[in-house]
Amino acid sequence: MKIMIRGVRGSIPTTGPDTTRYGGNTSCSVVAEGDTILVLDGGSGMQKFNLLNNTGIKRIDILLTHLHLDHIQGLGFFNPLFDPTLDVHIWGPTSTSSLHARLSRYLSPPLFPVLLRDLPCKLTLHDIGNSSFEIGPFTIESRYVIHPGPTVGFRISNRRSVFTYIPDHEPALGSFELHNDKKWISGFDLASSADLLLHDAQYTPQEYQNKLGWGHSSMDDALKFSAIAEVKHLLLTHHDPSHSDEQLDHFFTNLKSRNNYSFPYELAAEGMQIELP
Amino acid sequence: MPAYDIEIILNRQLADCLSMPVFITDTTGNLIFYNESAEKVLGSRFEETGEMKVEMWSTIFKQKDEEGNLLSPESLPLVRTLHDRYPYHKTFWIESLQGKSEKISVTSYPIIGRAGKFLGAVAIFWEAKDL
């Protein structure tokens, strides 16, 4: 499977000369294998999507971890939704109201001029929670994780590899530190022994002390979570919008100096592409 | 064993932050977590005992009424919550294995998750007040 990173910024798109290297678009990644394309989250990184051009592919699947604005604001600017020849499936977490009802709050006036029901594509919505489903060659597990409001992470497997996607996650909430007992760790089943994990790391440890309960992780907690789950490769994402490229480099240097984990880890950046077998 | 559902994990994290004794069970009454305050009630530490089968932890103390009569398990809040998935509250006496008696109030509530799935129950022990 091929993984393409299209948006790594948390909370709000952040454009400018200070964020050009890591990128300013909010959460979006693409997973592709053969004719199957999964778009993970609909942040602003979703815009200018052209992977279908001249491919003959007639179906695309969008997997939403949750419906906070930074994860859906790109939907209205996602070209396949306006193509009447395409089947578009949107999968997202359920709550007391349906995914359709919740998405319609954004895709309707006055927030957006086009109603969800008026989108030209052939649209199918799927309510998910702790779910298992298959799309093309992929088996996908979704599990609720700790983040305000109904939020899931995804474990995406083909026959050879596992990619885990948990961009918004605060597994250390309420504890002085992460539990060592794996049964008690939010997201553990999703990340266990994954070949690649894309995980929330919005804050430095100092910043996190003032953001407890906001639903995001410190860089150090993301590393510890990955180590407990025996992840093989970690990409840190959901960069805080106040962090410039220069600051991120500085934080990452400090992170490496105080941690001695053996698995590779790096800051996610827009435009990254990773192949898993 | 797979990780617990997020609703159970969040209840433990809340219990970790509380000074009231809190007990968390699975759907069959096995004790899957108790916090530091509850350790004083049980006389054991969670780090040492780990999870306890219902047969074990239900014998740690006897439940009695004002006259010292043994209460049936079916009348206790947590047992009732596990049975019909509603919250309950009751004041009674407990007697530990060492013979120490204490008047307590217990509040129990079911943990029913996002999908409407029954996942377990919580019991909170309070210092009893004469109302």
- DSSP readout, chain A? -EEEEEE-B-SS---SGGGTTT---BSEEEEEETTEEEEE--SGGGSS--TTTTT---EEEEE-S---GGGTTTGGG-GGGG-TT-EEEEEEE--SS-HHHHHHHHSSTTT-SS-GGG-SSEEEEEEESSEEEEETTEEEEEEE-SSSSS-EEEEEE-SS-EEEEESS--TTTTSSS--SSGGGSTTHHHHTT-SEEEEE--B-HHHHTTSTTSS--BHHHHHHHHHHTT-S-EEEE-B-TT--HHHHHHHHHHHHHH---SS-EEE--TT-EEE--
Chain B contacts of A212, Cβ < 8 Å?
none
Measure CB to CB from residue A184 to each of B9, B114, B115 and give the nearest one: B9
* Among the listed residues A198, A263, A256, the one whose alpha carbon sits nearest the alpha carbon of residue A228: A263
The whole-number pLDDT of residue A51 equals 84
Q: Find out whether A42 and A99 touch, Cβ atoms under 8 Å.
A: no
Least confident of A128-132, A220-224, B92-96, B103-107: B92-96
The whole-number pLDDT of residue B2 equals 86
CB contact under 8 A, B6 and A146: yes
Chain A contacts of B16, Cβ < 8 Å?
174-175
Helix or strand holding residue B48 (H, E): helix B46-49
Average pLDDT over every residue of B68-79 = 92
Report the chain A residue with the minimal C-alpha distance to residue B116.
A96
* Distance separating alpha carbons of residues B30 and B22, to the nearest angstrom: 14
Report the chain B residue with the minimal C-alpha distance to residue A185.
B3
- Hey, which residues does B75 pair with through a beta bridge? none
- Give residue B99's Cα distance to chain centre: 20
Contact with chain A for residue B56, Cβ under 8 A: no
Q: Find out whether B93 and B102 touch, Cβ atoms under 8 Å.
A: yes
Strand pairing of A234-237 and A196-200? parallel
Q: How confident is the model at residue B111 (pLDDT cuts 50, 70, 90)?
A: very high
Residues 6+ apart with CB under 8 A from A77: A44, A46, A47
CB contact under 8 A, B114 and A189: no
Has residue B1 got a pLDDT over 80? Answer: no
Least confident of A173-187, B9-23, B46-60, B67-81: A173-187
The whole-number pLDDT of residue A76 equals 95
* Distance separating alpha carbons of residues A186 and A172, to the nearest angstrom: 9
- Hey, which residues does A32 pair with through a beta bridge? A2, A37
Measure CB to CB from residue B6 to each of A94, A145, A183 and give the nearest one: A145
CB contact under 8 A, A174 and B14: yes
The whole-number pLDDT of residue A23 equals 98
Token duo for residue A238: 């959901």
Chain B contacts of A130, Cβ < 8 Å?
5, 115
Q: Find out whether B21 and B125 touch, Cβ atoms under 8 Å.
A: yes
The whole-number pLDDT of residue B11 equals 95
CB contact under 8 A, B10 and A188: no
Chain A contacts of B1, Cβ < 8 Å?
183
**Where do we find the tokens 């553990």?**
A188
Contact with chain A for residue B20, Cβ under 8 A: no
Question: When comparing pLDDT for A38 and B42, which is higher?
Answer: A38
Chain B contacts of A95, Cβ < 8 Å?
114
Sheet holding B31-34, edge to edge: B31-34, B22-25, B118-127, B101-112, B88-96, B61-64
The conformational region for residue A113 under phi > 0 = left, psi -120 to 50 = alpha, else beta, is alpha
Q: Within 10 A of B130 (CB to CB), how many other CB atoms are there?
A: 5
Q: What is the pLDDT of residues B10-36, one digit of tens each?
A: 999 999 889 999 999 999 999 999 999
Contact with chain A for residue B131, Cβ under 8 A: no
CB contact under 8 A, B2 and A183: yes
Contact with chain A for residue B9, Cβ under 8 A: yes
Question: When comparing pLDDT for A144 and B131, which is higher?
Answer: A144
Question: When comparing pLDDT for B91 and A50, which is higher?
Answer: B91
Has residue B131 got a pLDDT over 70? Answer: no
* Among the listed residues A37, A5, A265, the one whose alpha carbon sits nearest the alpha carbon of residue A156: A37
Smallest Cα distance from B1 to chain A, Å: 7
The whole-number pLDDT of residue A95 equals 82
Strand pairing of A265-267 and A87-93? unpaired
The whole-number pLDDT of residue A39 equals 98
Per-residue pLDDT of chain A in tens (277 residues, 90 and over written 9): 999 999 999 999 999 999 999 999 999 999 999 999 999 999 999 998 888 888 899 999 999 999 999 999 999 999 999 999 999 999 999 888 899 999 999 999 999 999 999 999 999 999 999 999 999 999 999 999 999 999 999 999 999 999 999 999 999 987 766 777 899 999 999 999 999 999 999 999 999 999 999 999 999 999 999 999 999 999 999 999 999 999 999 999 999 999 999 999 999 999 999 999 8
Q: Count the alpha carbons within 13 Å of A252 in the hemisphere toward its beta carbon.
A: 18
Measure CB to CB from residue B114 to each of A145, A150, A182 and give the nearest one: A150
Residues 6+ apart with CB under 8 A from B64: B70, B71, B92, B93, B94, B95, B101
The whole-number pLDDT of residue B42 equals 85
pTM of the complete model: 0.91
